[in-house]
């Protein structure tokens, strides 16, 4: 029964990926520079977390709580507030802030979902009766232990040496960025995207005002042509300095192994600058399979992770990041039991793929009546 249901759900999710191409994203949230500066100052004061750099994208709502000592960021899609990551701020006030946010959701007549949260506050979600599903893992390299030596790093060393012989070099540009640099980065980004569309919400996308806040790691040819780049977002946790490799782009005509050169150079730079950790970003659906509990969600997630290549190569992304021998940190989805896991997932797909209006929009395509009948599944 579970196998049959899983096959149906896999087919449904694939249909959604195809159907959402006809839907359009409507960006309706707008923040002025003063608001962004306030967010930047708060992040600097509180230290930030693994998602706080994405608060500066300008595509999220800000919910201030506890006299502006806790910040929760979210987007609305259909009758759902989707919160990104852990609440940020005074850790002693997180429970009260979440209760305040719950009351706000009830006043607005919406349900709440927390996406890409860490293990920090799982007990609070459990106490509230919410359900928890793992959605993937974040790859974090411990800089003091990082090295390119050893047999497992042979391919990376080979690619690094090949890029150096070809005249590639590495450089870090710090804000403020020259307009010409941003134009050159846009050219690289457009080459990488091709006919694909930018994603959003839990993933950084190319926006000059967003990139202007961060150092940019650049790989260039000897003639100065930029071949690849990555934005670097800094935060601190427990007195440790962390860097997250955020937006990563490369020219399609760049040498194979260019990203190995870029990543290795960033990790070396992190060592020179005495960072403790460098996050290589998330690997969706990684290590979700659970022998003790394997329902339809785990079955579908494992299938998508191992088999999907045409829409998104989940396994390939995980294997690439795993080459750098990171420590893997689990990320979770938190949702209300009566809402239905399947409908939550479909809303997340639409939100991340920027395919619908994020304010009071109803899902309108043929498979939704079928989805609503299955809301109790999961």
Mean pLDDT of 171-177: 95
Domain 2-135+285-307+329-373 matches domain 140-281 at the CATH topology level: yes
Q: Which residues contact 125 (CB under 8 A, 6 or more apart)?
A: 114, 117, 132, 334
86-105 tens-digit pLDDT: 999 999 999 999 999 999 99
pLDDT for the residue 368:
41
Judged against a pLDDT cut of 50, whether residue 361 lies above it is answered with: no
According to CATH, the superfamily of the domain at 2-135+285-307+329-373 is Gcn5-related N-acetyltransferase (GNAT) (3.40.630.30)
Domain boundaries, the chain: 2-135+285-307+329-373, 140-281
Identify the weakest region by mean pLDDT among 151-155, 238-242, 244-248.
Answer: 238-242
Structural contact between residues 80 and 112, judged by C-beta atoms closer than 8 angstroms: yes
* Rounded Cα–Cα distance for residues 341 and 241 (Å): 36
What pLDDT digit, counting tens, does each position of 266-301 carry?
Answer: 999 999 999 999 999 999 999 887 666 678 888 888
Query: If you average pLDDT over every residue of the chain, what do you get?
Result: 86
140-281 architecture in CATH?
3-Layer(aba) Sandwich (3.40)
pLDDT in tens, 199-227: 989 999 999 999 999 999 999 999 999 99
Cβ neighbours of residue 78 closer than 8 Å, sequence gap 6 or more: 347, 360, 361, 362, 363
pTM value is 0.86
Inter-residue contact 333 to 136 (CB < 8 Å): no
66 and 98 Cβ atoms separated by less than 8 Å: no
């Amino acid at each position: 029964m579970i196998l049959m249901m899983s096959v149906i759900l896999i087919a449904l999710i694939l249909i959604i990926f195809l159907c959402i191409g006809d839907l359009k994203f409507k960006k309706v949230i707008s923040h002025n520079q003063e608001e962004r500066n306030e967010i930047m100052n708060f992040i600097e004061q509180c230290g930030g977390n693994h998602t706080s750099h994405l608060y500066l994208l300008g595509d999220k709502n800000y919910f201030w709580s506890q006299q502006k000592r806790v910040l929760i960021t979210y987007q609305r899609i259909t009758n759902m507030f989707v919160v990104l990551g852990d609440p940020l701020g005074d850790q002693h006030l997180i429970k009260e802030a979440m209760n305040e946010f719950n009351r706000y959701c009830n006043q607005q007549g919406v349900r709440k979902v927390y996406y890409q949260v860490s293990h920090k506050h799982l007990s609070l979600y459990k106490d509230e009766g919410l359900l928890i599903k793992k959605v993937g893992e974040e790859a974090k390299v411990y800089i003091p232990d990082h090295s390119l030596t050893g047999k497992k790093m042979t391919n990376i060393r080979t690619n690094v040496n090949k890029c150096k012989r070809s005249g590639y070099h590495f450089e870090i540009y710090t804000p403020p960025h020259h307009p010409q640099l941003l134009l050159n980065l846009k050219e690289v980004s457009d080459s990488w995207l091709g006919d694909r569309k930018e994603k959003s919400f839990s993933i950084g996308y190319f926006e000059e005002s967003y990139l202007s806040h961060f150092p940019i790691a650049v790989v260039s040819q000897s003639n100065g042509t930029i071949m690849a780049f990555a934005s670097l977002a800094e935060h601190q946790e427990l007195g440790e300095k962390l860097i997250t490799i955020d937006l990563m782009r490369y020219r399609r005509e760049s040498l194979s192994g260019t990203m190995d050169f870029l990543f290795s150079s960033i990790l070396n730079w992190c060592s020179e600058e005495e960072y403790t950790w460098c996050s290589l970003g998330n690997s969706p659906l990684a290590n979700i399979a659970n022998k003790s509990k394997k329902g339809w969600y785990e079955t579908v997630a494992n299938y998508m992770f191992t088999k999907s290549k045409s829409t998104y190569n989940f396994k390939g992304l995980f294997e690439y990041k795993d080459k750098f021998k990171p420590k893997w940190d689990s990320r979770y989805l938190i949702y209300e039991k009566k809402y239905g896991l399947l409908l939550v997932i479909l809303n997340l797909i639409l939100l991340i793929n920027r395919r619908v209006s994020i304010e009071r929009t109803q899902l309108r395509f043929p498979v939704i009546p079928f989805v609503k009948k299955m809301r109790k599944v999961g």
